[in-house]
Amino acid sequence: MIKPCIAKKEVTTHILKTFGIHTSKKLGQNFLIDENVVQQIVEAAAISATDTVLEIGPGIGTLTQGVAETQAEVVAVELDQRLITVLSKTLDGYDNVRVIHNDILKLDISAEIPNKTFKVVANLPYYITTPIIMNLLEHKLPIELLVTMVQKAVESAVIRCTVRKEPPVKVESEKRFFRVVRAAFAQRRKTLANGLKAAGITAENVNKILEEAGIDSMRRGETLSLDEFALVSNAWEKYQ
């Protein structure tokens, strides 16, 4: 199939003007206009024709097109209703692509991709990256690999995550472990102690938890190792 490459400035501009689309600051939209970056993401995910790929936030179909060209089965989830019509046109002819209008944080992914492993690709705004990744991991989905381009100001980075078959640390409660991680990174400039207080733990219990875990209360969450996060999580179990 020969179709115009969407990942070019002039093509993207034409599509946006044709459909009267303006990027939404609320949704952190920022469309790719570099076909080399699209190819790098596809290569980083090692996508082949036998793969099933979940794309989060396809936008106007820029990355979707690159993934679809591999002949992989693509399930693209888009929140913005305006872009559903655009995608029906830009991805016309790609029978291996299915577009779903939904919020990825609310979608029952297992129902949409049942009984098979899959890879995840995305071009995400910085503010929503962590909630989405945490949501995917907490639901224990059969994800092989996750590759996302993270947007932050004028700089971006492509992150490649391989999902482990077994967790690297043992914790009493995975739910509580993730709560500790969220608390630690919710206010990155503050200390871990303040982050835990903001998460609803009393100051007295925060002191007990960190003392038992052997963690200096003045440390920031981003300095902790996975093992240390596990220690804090397990100590928290004792002070409910």
Residue 126 binned pLDDT confidence (cut-offs 50, 70, 90): confident
pLDDT reported for residue 157: 82
In percent, the amount of the chain with pLDDT more than 90 equals: 61
- Residue 215: which pLDDT band, with cuts at 50, 70 and 90? very high
**In the chain, where are the structural domains located?**
9-162, 174-236
pLDDT at residue 185 in the model: 84
> Can you read off the two tokens belonging to residue 102?
């939904």
pLDDT reported for residue 113: 96
For residue 237, the model assigns a pLDDT of 86
Q: Which residue has the higher pLDDT, 72 or 187?
A: 72
Which has more pLDDT, 232 or 167? 232
| Fold of the domain spanning 9-162 | Rossmann fold (3.40.50)
* Tens of pLDDT, residues 78-99: 999 999 999 999 999 999 999 9
pLDDT score of 164: 85
- DSSP letters along the chain, please? -----SSBHHHHHHHHHHHT----TTTT-----BHHHHHHHHHHTT--TT-EEEEE--TTTHHHHHHHTTT-EEEEEE--HHHHHHHHHHTTT-TTEEEEES-TTTS-HHHHSTTS-EEEEEEEEHHHHHHHHHHHHHTT--EEEEEEEEEETTEEEEEEEEPPSS-SS--S-HHHHHHHHHHHHHTTTSBHHHHHHHTT--HHHHHHHHHHHT--TTSBGGG--HHHHHHHHHHHTT--
Architecture label for domain 174-236: Orthogonal Bundle (1.10)
Q: Is 214 left (phi over 0), alpha (psi -120 to 50) or beta?
A: left
Tens-digit pLDDT profile for residues 136-172: 988 889 999 999 988 668 678 888 998 888 888 999 9
